[in-house]
């Protein structure tokens, strides 16, 4: 075996899942951080300014290309691996072995599918209007005209079913991360006990804090905590 098929063997495909997964984890930090600007309580000025920077500056635009590439690689590879793995046991068991593993570890594809459905709806809510179909402009205090994404959020999250769907998606994200975060680091070879304990701990913390922050955004708008 040469290094040519390093990323196409069973271990290699998992490496691709891990590297893209870690990239997506980093993206979540950036996304949650920027969105937290809604809590600046300034009528969305800071949030719209942050959104304008992300949409107009060349660095985030280049990173966005990478984000789309990695997210689709993660999704497609994930589905292919799930189908391949399922095909390895033509005759199943009468009694399944469920005690040895967590349900969410076994359900990454289902959790991922909920997240994929979420992305489609989320893109339709925000990304497509902002990039393609257009969003109402607003003038910032410094005179710059920007998309009023804050108003789009306010309007979108007045619908209780949208809020419920976003919260359910955040719960799926939490469980997806609870397995995915630490699993990704195992896949890239972290076996040292001390580091592994640390990564598990950070992973569970991350899986709670980030989805909780995201879930609080539609809830904050729905309950008019931010105005």
Q: Return the residues of window 44-103 that contact other proteins according to CB under 8 A.
A: 81, 84-102
- For 150, residues 6+ apart whose C-beta sits below 8 A from its C-beta are 38, 43, 44, 47, 48, 51
Question: Smallest distance, Å, CB 103 to other proteins?
Answer: 10
106 binding other proteins? (CB under 8 A) = yes
d(CA 157, CA 165): 11
d(CA 104, CA 156): 30
194 binding other proteins? (CB under 8 A) = no
Residue that has been written with the tokens 């199943």 in this structure: 92
Stretch that binds other proteins, among 43-51, 112-120, 179-187, 207-215 (CB under 8 A): 179-187
Among 169, 179, 214, 221, binds other proteins (CB under 8 A): 179
Site size toward other proteins (CB under 8 A) is 46
224 binding other proteins? (CB under 8 A) = no
Residue 149 corresponds to which tokens in the numbers above? 């994404």
143 binding other proteins? (CB under 8 A) = no
Q: Is residue 210 within 8 Å of 29, Cβ to Cβ?
A: yes
Q: Which is nearer to other proteins, 1 or 65 (CB)?
A: 1
d(CA 33, CA 214): 10
Question: Smallest distance, Å, CB 179 to other proteins?
Answer: 7
d(CA 137, CA 130): 10
Q: Note the residues at the interface with other proteins (CB under 8 A).
A: 1-3, 6, 9-15, 81, 84-102, 105-106, 108, 179, 182-183, 185-191, 193, 196
């Amino acid at each position: 075996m040469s290094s040519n098929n390093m990323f196409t063997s069973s271990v290699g495909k998992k490496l691709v899942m891990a590297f893209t997964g870690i990239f997506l984890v980093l993206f979540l930090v950036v996304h949650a951080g920027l969105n937290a600007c809604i809590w600046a309580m300034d009528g969305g000025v800071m949030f719209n300014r942050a959104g304008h920077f992300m949409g107009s500056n060349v660095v985030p635009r280049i990173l966005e290309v990478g984000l789309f590439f990695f997210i689709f690689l993660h999704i497609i590879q994930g589905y292919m691996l799930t189908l391949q793995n399922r095909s390895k046991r033509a005759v199943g068991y009468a009694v399944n072995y469920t005690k040895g593993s967590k349900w969410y570890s076994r359900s990454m594809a289902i959790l991922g599918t909920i997240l994929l459905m979420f992305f489609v709806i989320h893109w339709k809510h925000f990304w497509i209007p902002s990039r393609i179909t257009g969003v109402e402009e607003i003038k910032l205090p410094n005179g710059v005209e920007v998309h009023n994404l804050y108003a789009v959020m306010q309007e979108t999250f007045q619908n209780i079913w949208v809020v419920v769907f976003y919260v359910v998606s955040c719960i799926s994200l939490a469980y997806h991360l609870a397995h995915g975060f630490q699993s990704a680091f195992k896949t890239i070879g972290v076996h040292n006990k001390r580091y592994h304990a640390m990564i598990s701990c950070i992973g569970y913390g991350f899986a709670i804090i980030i989805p909780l922050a995201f879930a609080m955004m539609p809830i904050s708008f729905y309950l008019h905590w931010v105005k």
